[in-house]
Amino acid sequence: MPARIIDGRAIAEDIRGLCATRVADLVNRTGVTPGLAVILVGEDPASQVYVANKIKACDKAGIRSFSHRLDAAVSNKVLIDLINRLNDDDEVHGILVQLPLPPHIDMRAVLETISIQKDVDGFHLYNVGALVTGTTIFSPCTPYGVVKLLEHEKIEIEGKNVVVVGASNIVGKPLALMLMAREATVAICHAKTRDLAQFTILADILVVAAGRPNLILPQMVKTGAVVIDVGINRLPSGRIVGDVDFDGVRAKASFITPVPGGVGPMTVTMLIENTLQSAERLANAQ
């Protein structure tokens, strides 16, 4: 039987609906409307689309967004001063700096300026380090979205062999730590891994985030494996595909995510979830 397709779009829609209810409840109970500040530096077209999508999704959930568009030539100081002001602003519960930043900007210094209580992207060193100890305030959105998909489908993580292909700071590494915290046995592969298939074939849960179309072929996948494709690749034809040979692998796997419509919609959803959690935490502390 072909794998069951994990419908990330529908799951994301459900979670966003629940978030909208929680937002309305928070506003009624406390008068606090969750707020997200989004900082975009420069005119990168892809970043503009991502930011517009994030703002639209927040709007729909009842989260107020504060958009700050800065010139590509902005100085480190101006950017850091802005973040400090947002750190002190009670109407802002989450601060997101859209990456990548222009090369003259000190990205680490910028991310480290964001208050750890408002770091809804989870990129501050505190939140990165806290993934190791299990004390994160915010988990990074894409890996968090992958974990939520697995949980939604009631796929057991504890004791499973998980192979993560891709070791970036924003997807592969944090995801590996999050799955380890859920007591999976995790292997991380990357571009220098020799004979990728000898690892992937052992995976009960295979997560692929490499950005290479057709990297994962059916013979590299164990029968019955759960396959989560994080990759987003635009082919010369304009078609968007993941990293997995979807049709071939679907015939062997038990669950599989499509691209588009799998992990992608969950990333923005987790940003909404993190911003809402931040506002709830603050309101409950008062």
Residues labelled as active-site residues: 54, 98, 121
C-beta closer to ligand NAD: residue 74 or 246: 246
Report DSSP state, residue 216.
B
Q: How far is CA 283 from the centre of its chain?
A: 25
The least distance separating ligand NAD from the CB of residue 9, rounded to whole angstroms, comes to 12
C-beta closer to ligand NAD: residue 196 or 253: 196
Find the farthest-apart pair of alpha carbons in the chain and give their distance in angstroms, rounded.
58
Q: Which stretch binds ligand NAD (CB under 6 A): 45-53, 86-94, 130-138, 159-167?
A: 159-167
The least distance separating ligand NAD from the CB of residue 251, rounded to whole angstroms, comes to 22
In the structure encoding, which two tokens stand for residue 123, read together?
Answer: 């990129």
The least distance separating ligand NAD from the CB of residue 282, rounded to whole angstroms, comes to 27
For residue 9, state whether it binds ligand NAD (rule: CB under 6 A): no
Q: Residue 259's CB: how many other CB atoms inside 10 A? A: 22
C-beta closer to ligand NAD: residue 171 or 253: 171
Tell which residue, 282, 270, 267, 269, has the closest CA to residue 117.
282
Tell me, what amino acid is at 60?
K
Q: Give, as ranges, the residues between 36 and 55 that touch ligand NAD (CB under 6 A).
A: none
Coil/strand/helix, residue 96: strand
CA distance 51 to 268: 10
For residue 215, state whether it binds ligand NAD (rule: CB under 6 A): yes
**Residue indicated by tokens 């990165």:** 128
Beta bridge partners of 64: 35
Angle between helices 45-61 and 264-285 (to 10 degrees): 50
CA distances for 9 relative to 6, 119, 127, 188, angstroms: 9, 25, 27, 27
For residue 185, state whether it binds ligand NAD (rule: CB under 6 A): no
The least distance separating ligand NAD from the CB of residue 165, rounded to whole angstroms, comes to 5
Beta bridge partners of 185: 161
C-beta closer to ligand NAD: residue 137 or 188: 188
C-beta closer to ligand NAD: residue 167 or 206: 167
Q: Give, as ranges, the residues between 163 and 182 that touch ligand NAD (CB under 6 A).
A: 165-168, 170-172
Give the interface with ligand NAD as residue ranges (CB under 6 A): 142, 165-168, 170-172, 189-191, 193, 196, 209-212, 215, 230-233, 263-264, 267
